[in-house]
Structure 1
Amino acid sequence: MNNYTVKGMTCGHCEMSVKEEIGEIAGVTAVTADHATGAVTVEGEGFTDEQVAAAVKEAGYELA
């Protein structure tokens, strides 16, 4: 399980966008996000922090 902080999430739609993009990474089995704190938890194996950062950027946000 890896924990990240995402800057810019302000609503439930933001959470969904981030979760969807990260969820498409090979090896990711679960993603949780909380826009109030910016906390994102990614479960699985075989993925890198760089892949997560790229997915977050694709969703329109960035890692803190």
Structure 2
Amino acid sequence: MITVFTIPDMTCSHCEKTVRNALGNALPDAAVSIDLASHRVTIEGDAAKAEEAIRGAGYSPQRLS
């Protein structure tokens, strides 16, 4: 399942790395794509686990799909 999140408070490359690491730890086999300019994260995997991992990293994801 492909899920797209917008993360308004992901604003820099450090934020992107933090989110990518959190998702990698929570869902090591998931495909993750991050577009920092649009604040979007696309993940192929468990959406609930992904959202929990992003929130655990200190960010506020909003699910778009």
TM-score over 0.5 for the pair: yes
Identity of aligned residues (%): 34
Runs of 4+ off more than 4 Å: none
RMSD (CA atoms) = 1.7
Higher RCO structure, 1 or 2 (CA under 8 Å, sep 6+): 2
More strand by share: 1
TM-score, L = length of structure 2: 0.75
* Alignment coverage as a number of residue pairs: 61
* Structure 2 unmatched runs, 5+: none
What letter corresponds to residue 61 of structure 1 in structure 2?
Y
* Structure 1 unmatched runs, 5+: none
TM-score, L = length of structure 1: 0.75
